[in-house]
Amino acid sequence: MRDLIIRNSSRLELSMRLMDVLVLEIAGALASWLHWGAPLSTTAPVHTVLLHFCSALAFVLFAQLELYASWRGRAMPEMFLRVAASWGIVLLIGLFFGFLINHVGAVSRLWMFYWYGTGVIFLVVYRIGVYFTLRHLRRRGLNAKRVIIVGYGSTGQEMHKRSLIQDWAGYDVKAVHGDPADVEKIKDPSVVRLNSLEEIPGYVVANQIHEIWITLPLMASPKLQELQYLLRNALVDIRWVPDLLGLQMLSNKMGDFLGFPAVDLNQPVSSGMNGLVKDMFDKVFASVALVLLAPLFIVIAILIKSSSPGPVLFKQPRLGLNGKKFNVYKFRSMKVHQEHGIVKQATKDDPRITPIGAFLRRTSLDELPQFINVLLGDMSVVGPRPHALQHNEMYKDLLEMYMLRHRVKPGITGWAQIHGHRGETDTVDKMAKRVQFDLHYIQNWSLWMDIRIIIWTAFKGWTGKNAY
């Protein structure tokens, strides 16, 4: 009984294919009433011909376009897009058929539009019904697929956890093979522990396993080759989900490179088209900010010059995008002094800080000239704060992920700063916390996130008691 639907999957697919034909026929007739207020039989004959031709074509092509593949564990929006695209392809072929029979000029474009819209709605609605019916059955333990997980690192454990939480997906993990230390974490006594790879093929046959999930890490290539040989005769679905959770990188986006599938491990979200959007936003925002802040710049410049001798602006080399050096601009907040190759961070009651400089640093007004850096393309309005070069050299060996901050442009304000992680970083723990927030920003970037950070900075300012 539990495998009844799985054993009759071909009959279920045939039923859905016939249902699609019926749905499209009904949608075409409804489109006629919406457009002409009359049955399709009273219109030009080409419409009836197209109705039956496209419905029959859908019966054949929808299967080739994978509309009847199992959708368990996959996102519903993707299914809706595939339905809409597949139905659009069928209609385009139908129009080409009308051109071949020299009747395309008699086809009502508005009727085709109505037919496409109602067809998509009907196809999606009844699929939603089927989808949730199957989810209900899977929650009750019916139509479940028995699974073996090979590799029980962070990814294998996460997949096992999700199969239990998302019980509507209908995956029942029956056995696991992995390192003994990882396998010991399994609390469910019903899950069989397979001690060797050689046990897997026999267990698959004896227990009618439906799927094998391979979650071995990338460095386990010898084990993968052995497993490939052992499973050469296994007539079950085999999924390889590389254990990328153990790799502390920025992304795991799959793409095509020279005709081969490739995984980008440290490509930030704000790259490609997203990068163009972010860059345009930065340039516009910085231009407007510099125009509006010009009177304030003049006042601050006068105060700096009157408080101590030296230039109004202070510049210092920093690392930018992908480690490119640039000079960051700030309002000078300290007395002119020599660093002698060593950058000393400002501390509480630092004697080098001028009276007006203390106010500028406390209110972060000293950072405003960095809008010039944004216009020059060296910085972004929002991003990880740039550190002194000596600090980069020190922390890149102390913190494993430190240099990944430089995969994006540094910012005037950032996710770490609005959460209080600014100012002096006199301990490794303080810097580690800042880097953690910076990497969260890089991995989860969106334009809306940038806007939120800017609004927070504008109205609440940076927070943190260790800013001197």
Q: Average pLDDT of 325-342?
A: 75
pLDDT in the model for residue 468: 45
Q: What type of residue sits at position 121? A: I
Give the pLDDT score at 266: 76
Question: Which pLDDT band holds residue 4 (cuts at 50, 70, 90)?
Answer: very low
427 or 316: which leads in pLDDT: 316
pLDDT score of 145: 86
Rounded to an integer, what distance in angstroms lies between the CA atom of residue 449 and that of residue 467?
Answer: 24
pLDDT band at 73 (very low <50, low <70, confident <90, very high): low
| pLDDT tens track for 390-446 | 888 888 888 878 888 899 999 999 998 888 877 666 678 888 889 899 999 998 899
**E strand map for 320-443:** 325-331, 380-382, 411-413
pLDDT, tens digit, 9 for 90 and up, residues 163-201: 888 877 788 899 999 888 888 888 888 899 999 999 999
Q: Looking at residues 206-224, what average pLDDT do you find?
A: 85
Q: Say what the pLDDT of residue 174 is.
A: 92
- 123 pLDDT band (50/70/90 cuts)? very high
Q: Is the pLDDT of residue 248 over 70?
A: no
Which range, of 53-57, 168-172, 335-339, averages the lowest pLDDT?
335-339
263 vs 295: which has the higher pLDDT:
295
**What percent of the chain stands above pLDDT 70?**
88
Q: Which of these ranges, 2-16, 27-41, 58-72, has the smallest mean pLDDT?
A: 2-16
Q: 237 — phi, psi (to 5°)?
A: -75, 130
151/355: higher pLDDT:
151
pLDDT score recorded for residue 380: 95
What's the pLDDT tens digit per position in 279-298? Answer: 999 999 999 999 999 999 99
- Classify residue 345 by its DSSP letter: P
Closest by CA to 426, choosing from 345, 333, 319, is 345
Q: Is the pLDDT confidence value at 465 over 60?
A: no
275: left (phi over 0), alpha (psi -120 to 50) or beta: alpha
Average pLDDT score, the chain: 84
Q: Residue ranges of the alpha helices (H) in 101-194?
A: 109-139, 154-165, 180-183
Backbone phi, then psi, for 13, in 5-degree steps?
-65, -45
- pLDDT band with cut points at 50, 70 and 90 for residue 244: low
Does 150 have pLDDT greater than 90?
yes
pLDDT confidence bin for 268, thresholds 50/70/90 = confident
Name the DSSP letter for residue 260: E
CB 401 within 8 A of CB 434: no
Phi, psi of 410 (to 5 degrees): -70, 160
| pLDDT of res. 1 | 43
Residue owning tokens 């399709």: 40
CB 448 within 8 A of CB 405: no
Structural domains in the chain plus CATH codes: 4-139 (no CATH), 145-247 (3.40.50.720), 273-460 (no CATH)
Amino acid 379: pLDDT: 95
Measured CA to CA, the distance from residue 70 to residue 56 in angstroms comes to 22
pLDDT above 90: residue 236: no
Whether the pLDDT of residue 344 is over 80: the answer is: no
Task: With cut-offs at 50, 70 and 90, classify the pLDDT of residue 100.
Answer: confident
Query: Which stretches of 248-375 are assigned E, i.e. beta strand?
Result: 253-257, 260-264, 313-319, 325-331
pLDDT at position 358? 83
Q: How far is 366 from 363, CA to CA, in rounded Å?
A: 8
SS3 (DSSP) at 85: helix
Look up tokens 């897997």; give the residue. Answer: 200
Residue with tokens 């009750």: 140
- What's residue 338's pLDDT? 53
Upper half-sphere CA count for residue 245 (Cβ side, 13 Å): 12
The pLDDT, as a whole number, for residue 245 is 60
Specify the pLDDT at position 199: 92
**Band of residue 43 on the pLDDT scale cut at 50, 70, 90:** confident
What is the rounded distance in angstroms from the CA atom of residue 55 to the CA atom of residue 6? 27
pLDDT at position 19 over 50: yes
The one-letter amino acid at 220: A
The rounded distance, in Å, linking the Cα atoms of 93 and 447 is 39
Report the pLDDT value the prediction gives residue 463, as an integer from 0 to 100.
46
Hey, which of 51-60, 268-277, 342-351 has the most confident mean pLDDT? 51-60
Q: What would the mean pLDDT of 98-118 be, rounded to a whole number?
A: 87
Which residues are within 8 A (CB) of 336 and not within 5 positions of it... i.e. 6 or more apart?
308, 309, 310, 311
